[in-house]
Amino acid sequence: MKDDIKESVLNSLDGRNVELYPYLPYLLKDLWELGTSAERVLNLLKRQKREFNPSKVKVLDLGCGKGAVSITLAKTFGFSVVGIDAVPEFVQFAREKAKDWQVAEKCRFEVNDIREYVNKSDTFDIIILGSIGQVFGNIQQTLKILSKCLTADGFIILDDGYIPDGSSYFHNNYLPEAQFDQQIRRSGFRIADFIQYDVDDIQRGNEYNYSKIKQRAQELISMYPGLRYIFDDYLKTQRHENEVLENHIQCMLMLIEKNKEHEKN
């Protein structure tokens, strides 16, 4: 696998050292959801007034990880889902999980670079972009790229966050609130609905995930003591990212659709 793909995957999972890449499946072995909560996605979709025809709805899950969101959507709504991820072990896990949930005929999981896949894919009714960072660039660049893969009445489920207005905090991966909103509008989209994450929920999720990752990291340190610095650095990065999300970022799950007024203009 190309180093730039490895770096992209690592960035989406809060890693920094390319040497860590082969150990990601083991570090994340105990976690099915690798970012976005499938339950939150369900809650957001269930409260929409639009009618879904399950037999016709096509979903694209970019950076699908182990398939938690994809499989849950296929099971709950009967949607046909295509999940793309660059990590073969994650994709294989998702395929097996789809069989366990009896939705294998509704799910297709593929090992691919999502940056390349979107340039040749069909159009989809729903695109999931769940907590994978700036793989396609900033939010404006991301939405412009994904608009080519979206049906006219389709929408994007985006799990992301921004720095609230009035905060002096700075982070390379997060925009101030006003800029975040502005970039969405400039891309020809609008936020139609959203769920704001509660800080207590974020903390509980972070604590659970970190405990599982730390346990696996300690096992790897025992097996490969010479690589301790890699695993210690990953744990440090995880702690830092958790602190950022809990104290400085407003995290949101958004339903983003094309702005009809923008298209008229």
Residue 134's identity, in one-letter code, is Q
Mean pLDDT along residues 224-230: 95
Residue 242 lies in a domain: yes
Structural domain of 71: 3-258
Tell me the per-residue pLDDT of 87-123, one tens digit each, with 9 for 90 and over: 999 999 999 999 999 999 999 999 999 999 998 888 9
pLDDT of the residue at 176 = 95
Residue 196's DSSP bridge partners are: 252
- The CATH number linked to 200 is 3.40.50.150
- Would the CA dihedral through 200, 202, 203, 205 be positive or negative? positive
Mean pLDDT of the chain: 91
User: Of all residues in the chain, what percent carry a pLDDT higher than 70?
Assistant: 94
The two beta strands, 250-258 and 189-196, are antiparallel
pLDDT bucket at 254, cuts 50 / 70 / 90: very high
Q: How many domains does the chain have?
A: 1
pLDDT of the residue at 120 = 86
Sheet with 58-62: list strands edge to edge: 107-111, 80-85, 58-62, 124-130, 150-162, 250-258, 189-196
User: Per the structure block, which two tokens stand in for 51?
Assistant: 């009618």
pLDDT of the residue at 143 = 93
pLDDT bucket at 19, cuts 50 / 70 / 90: confident
Residue 33 lies in a domain: yes
Is residue 79 a contact partner of residue 73, using CB atoms and an 8 Å limit?
yes
Task: Quickly list H helices, the chain.
Answer: 3-12, 24-27, 38-46, 68-77, 88-100, 114-117, 139-147, 177-186, 199-223, 228-247, 260-264
Mean pLDDT along residues 183-187: 95
**Neighbour tally for 39: CB within 10 Å:** 12
Say yes or no to pLDDT of 174 above 60. Answer: yes
Residue 232 lies in a domain: yes
Residue 263 lies in a domain: no
pLDDT bucket at 10, cuts 50 / 70 / 90: low
Mean pLDDT along residues 233-239: 94
Residue 164 lies in a domain: yes
pLDDT of the residue at 261 = 67
The two beta strands, 189-196 and 124-130, are unpaired
Residue 248 lies in a domain: yes
Residue 264 lies in a domain: no
Highest mean pLDDT among 2-11, 17-26, 135-144, 185-194: 185-194
pLDDT bucket at 13, cuts 50 / 70 / 90: low
Residue 167 lies in a domain: yes
